C-alpha cells in the first residue's frame, strides 16, 4: 500500500561482487534519445527522458526488475513490475506484472531465465509512447544460457505485445545482463546496447534499428571484446566530447578487477574512446559543472595513495571518481569523492559499498546535475548493511567546491519521515534513480532496497523539491505477491 513500509525481518547476507565475463552489443531503433521528445500527434504530453510514459496519460511510470522472482514454480524466471504514474507519482497502488508469456511477451517463464535482470526505457519505434527494454540473460533461446533482449511495446492501452530484438551473438551467451537504449550513431533511430558473455570470454555489442513491432530479430554488431573476459556490470550514456551524440560507458570486470571503457560512434562504427583498468563497477553521466558537456561518474573505484587517481588497492568503504567531459580528452580533469570527503556526513567503514549504484540528473533546477550515490552496505546505527543514499550537489567546480568540500544530503529508513525502519541487510540504496515521474519539474529520488522484508524488497520514492529530493511525503512501494528482491533493478 502506498505510504506504508513493508515489515522487516532477517534474511541471508548478500555480496556486492559484480564481476564475471562478458561482451557488449547494440540494437538500433526508430527515434532519438532515451525516450522521444517530439510532440504527440493527438496533443497529449509526449514522454521525456525524465518521465517514461508507457500508456500516454502524461505521467511517468516506474519499471522495477526482479529477476530472482519465481513464476509458476520456475525459480528465478523473473519479472518486471510497472507502477503506473499519476499526478502524485507512482504511489497510487496501480501496478502490472510483465513477464514472459503474459501481456503479449513471447516465450515461457522458465527456471533461470532472469527476465528483468536489466531494464531500460525508450520510445524505440517513434510512436510517442515509451517502450520497455528488458534483458533475460538466462533465457535458452536455442542454446543453454544464450539470453535475449526484448522490447515490450507501449501504447494507448499500456504495455501490449513484444518483440525479441536479438539473434545469437556467437561465441558469446547470456545476452542482456546489462542493457541501454539510445541513439548512439546519430541516425535518428534508437539503438539497443547490451552485454554478452561466457565464463571464458565476453564483450559488448549492439543492434541498430529502426525496430518495429513484429519486426524480425536483428543481427548483433560487436562493439568490443574484453580481452580478459568480464561481465558488464553497468552501462551509461552521455555526450562527453560535445559531438552531439551520446557515447556509451561500460564497466566490466575479469578476475575481480574492475575496468571502465567509453565508446564513440565514428562514421556509424563504434570506436574505443577512453578506458582505464582497476576502475569502477557502476557509472552515471551528467553535466555536474554546467559547462554543456556531460561528465562521467564511476563508482566502486580502486584507488592509489595518489589523490584523484585509480589504481591498485581498494579504498575503505568505496569511492566515486568523476571524469569531466572534454572536447579534447575525457578525464583530463578529475575529482574523487568518498565518505571522508569534507561535507559528507559520517565516515568510511569497510564494506560500505559507497558508489555501488549511481544516478545523475539536475534536481534543483540550477542547470547542473546532482549525483545520487547508493551505499547499500552502510550500517545505520547497529544495523549492518541497512544501507543509505547520498545526494551530491553539482556546482561550477563539479561535485566539490574550490576548497575540496562537497555539498550533500543523505537518506536512510531512519530519516524522518521516510517510511519504515533501518534494519540489518535491507541494503537500501542497492539501486538508485532520479526521475521526474509526476512532471512537476523536480525529479524524485527512487531507491531500491531488495533485502527488505526477507528479500521481498521495496522501492522508496522521495519527492523532488526546489532544493532537491526531500524526505517529507516519501512513500514505499510494495511488490506484488510472490516477488523476490523487488528493487534490485530500476529502469534507467
Taking the C-alpha atoms of residue 379 and residue 88, their distance in angstroms, rounded to an integer, is 31
The rounded radius of gyration (Å) of the Cα atoms in the chain is: 20
Q: Is 235 helix (H, G, I), strand (E, B) or coil?
A: strand
C-alpha cell at 435: 526521475
Nearest CA-CA partner of 475 in 382, 413, 400: 413
Residues 6+ apart with CB under 8 A from 328: none
DSSP codes joined into one string, 316-329: SS-EEEEE---SS-
What is the Cα 224 distance to its own chain's centre? 21
C-alpha cell at 276: 582505464
Alpha-carbon distance of 117 to 136, in angstroms, equals 6
C-alpha cell of 414?
A: 531512519
408 C-beta neighbours (distance < 10 Å), count: 18
What gap in Å lies between CA 206 and CA 368, rounded to an integer?
30
476 with 3: CB under 8 angstroms? yes
d(CA 374, CA 389) in angstroms, rounded, equals 5
Helix or strand holding residue 259 (H, E): strand 257-266
Residues 6+ apart with CB under 8 A from 231: 18, 19, 20, 21, 22, 177, 195, 197, 202, 252, 253
The arrangement of strands across the sheet holding 162-164 comes to 118-122, 131-136, 148-152, 162-164
Residue linked to cell 519479472: 79
Instruction: Give the single-character DSSP code of 452.
Output: H
Residues with pLDDT less than 50, the chain: 1-24, 28-43, 303-313
Q: Which residue in 436, 452, 270, 262 sits closest to 359, CA to CA? A: 436
Residues linked to residue 297 through DSSP beta bridges, in sequence order: 284, 322
Q: How far is CA 220 from CA 35, 250, 366, 480, in A?
A: 22, 17, 40, 35
Distance separating alpha carbons of residues 87 and 184, to the nearest angstrom: 33
Peptide bond into 417 cis (omega under 30): yes
Q: Are 377 and 17 in contact (CB under 8 A)?
A: no
Question: What is the rounded distance in angstroms from the CA atom of residue 192 to the CA atom of residue 149?
Answer: 9
Please report how many Cα atoms fall inside a 13 Å half-sphere around the Cα of residue 30, on the Cβ side. 17
Peptide bond into 370 cis (omega under 30): no
Taking the whole predicted model, whether its pTM rises above 0.85 is answered as yes
* All cell numbers assigned to 451: 533485502
* Helical H segments across 383-483, by residue range: 452-455
Do residues 153 and 165 make contact, with C-beta atoms less than 8 angstroms apart? no
Burial class from Cβ neighbours inside 10 Å (0-12, 13-18, 19+) for residue 147 reads buried
Cell of 303: 584507488
- The answer to whether residues 335 and 398 touch, using CB atoms and an 8 Å cutoff, is yes
In the prediction, which pLDDT does 290 show?
Answer: 98
State phi, psi for 19 to the nearest 5 degrees: -115, 155
Please give the pLDDT value at position 451.
97
Pairing between β-strand 62-66 and β-strand 79-83 as defined by DSSP bridges:
antiparallel
Strands (E), 86-220: 95-98, 118-122, 131-136, 148-152, 162-164, 179-182, 191-197, 202-207
Q: What is the pLDDT of residue 286?
A: 98
pLDDT at 416: 95
DSSP SS3 for 151? strand
Distance between CA atoms of 126 and 186, rounded to whole angstroms?
15
- Nearest residue to 90 (alpha-carbon basis) of 463, 429, 487: 463
Q: How far apart are CA 272 and CA 454, in angstroms?
A: 42
For residue 144, the model assigns a pLDDT of: 63
Amino acid at each position: 500500500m502506498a505510504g506504508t513500509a513493508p515489515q522487516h525481518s532477517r534474511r541471508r547476507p548478500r555480496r556486492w561482487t559484480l564481476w564475471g565475463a562478458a561482451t557488449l552489443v547494440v540494437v538500433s531503433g526508430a527515434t532519438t534519445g532515451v525516450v522521444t521528445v517530439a510532440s504527440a500527434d493527438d496533443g497529449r504530453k509526449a514522454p521525456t527522458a525524465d518521465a517514461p510514459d508507457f500508456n500516454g496519460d502524461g505521467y511517468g511510470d516506474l519499471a522495477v526488475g526482479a529477476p530472482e522472482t519465481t513464476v509458476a514454480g520456475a525459480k528465478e524466471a523473473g519479472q518486471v513490475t510497472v507502477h503506473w504514474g499519476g499526478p502524485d507519482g507512482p504511489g497510487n497502488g496501480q501496478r502490472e506484472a510483465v513477464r514472459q508469456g503474459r501481456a503479449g511477451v513471447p516465450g515461457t517463464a522458465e527456471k533461470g531465465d532472469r527476465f528483468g535482470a536489466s531494464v531500460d526505457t525508450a520510445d524505440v519505434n517513434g510512436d510517442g509512447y515509451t517502450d520497455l527494454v528488458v534483458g533475460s540473460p538466462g533465457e535458452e533461446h536455442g542454446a543453454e544460457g544464450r539470453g535475449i533482449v526484448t522490447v515490450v511495446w507501449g501504447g494507448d492501452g499500456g504495455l501490449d505485445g513484444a518483440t525479441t530484438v536479438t539473434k545469437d551473438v556467437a561465441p558469446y551467451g547470456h545476452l542482456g545482463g546489462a542493457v541501454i537504449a539510445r541513439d548512439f550513431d546519430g541516425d535518428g533511430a534508437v539503438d539497443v546496447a547490451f552485454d554478452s558473455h561466457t565464463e571464458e570470454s565476453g564483450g559488448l555489442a549492439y543492434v541498430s534499428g529502426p525496430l518495429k513491432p513484429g519486426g524480425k530479430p536483428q543481427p548483433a554488431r560487436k562493439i568490443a571484446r574484453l580481452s580478459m573476459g568480464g561481465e558488464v556490470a553497468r552501462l551509461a550514456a552521455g555526450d562527453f566530447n560535445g559531438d552531439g551524440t551520446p557515447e556509451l560507458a561500460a564497466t566490466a570486470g575479469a578476475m575481480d578487477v574492475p575496468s571502465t571503457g567509453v565508446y564513440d560512434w565514428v562514421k556509424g562504427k563504434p570506436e574505443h574512446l577512453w578506458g582505464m583498468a582497476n576502475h569502477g563497477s557502476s557509472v552515471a553521466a551528467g553535466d555536474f559543472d554546467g559547462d554543456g558537456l556531460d561528465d562521467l561518474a564511476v563508482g566502486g573505484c580502486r584507488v592509489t595513495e595518489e589523490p584523484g587517481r585509480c589504481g591498485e588497492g581498494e579504498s575503505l568503504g568505496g569511492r566515486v571518481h568523476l571524469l569531466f567531459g572534454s572536447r579534447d580528452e575525457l578525464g583530463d580533469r578529475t575529482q574523487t569523492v568518498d565518505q571522508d570527503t569534507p561535507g559528507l556526513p559520517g565516515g568510511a567503514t569497510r564494506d560500505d559499498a559507497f558508489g555501488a549504484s549511481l544516478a545523475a540528473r539536475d534536481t534543483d533546477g540550477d542547470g547542473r546535475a546532482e549525483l545520487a550515490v547508493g551505499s547499500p552496505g552502510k550500517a545505520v546505527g547497529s544495523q549492518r548493511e541497512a544501507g543509505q543514499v547520498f545526494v551530491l550537489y553539482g556546482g561550477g567546480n563539479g561535485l566539490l567546491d574550490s576548497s575540496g568540500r562537497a555539498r550533500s544530503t543523505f537518506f536512510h529508513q531512519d530519516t524522518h519521515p521516510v517510511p519504515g525502519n533501518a534494519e540489518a541487510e535491507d541494503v537500501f540504496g542497492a539501486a538508485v534513480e532520479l526521475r521526474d515521474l509526476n512532471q512537476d519539474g523536480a525529479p524524485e529520488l527512487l531507491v531500491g532496497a531488495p533485502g527488505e522484508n526477507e528479500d521481498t524488497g521495496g522501492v522508496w520514492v522521495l519527492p523532488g523539491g526546489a532544493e532537491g529530493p526531500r524526505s517529507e511525503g516519501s512513500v514505499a512501494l510494495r511488490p506484488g505477491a510472490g516477488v523476490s528482491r523487488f528493487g534490485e533493478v530500476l529502469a534507467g
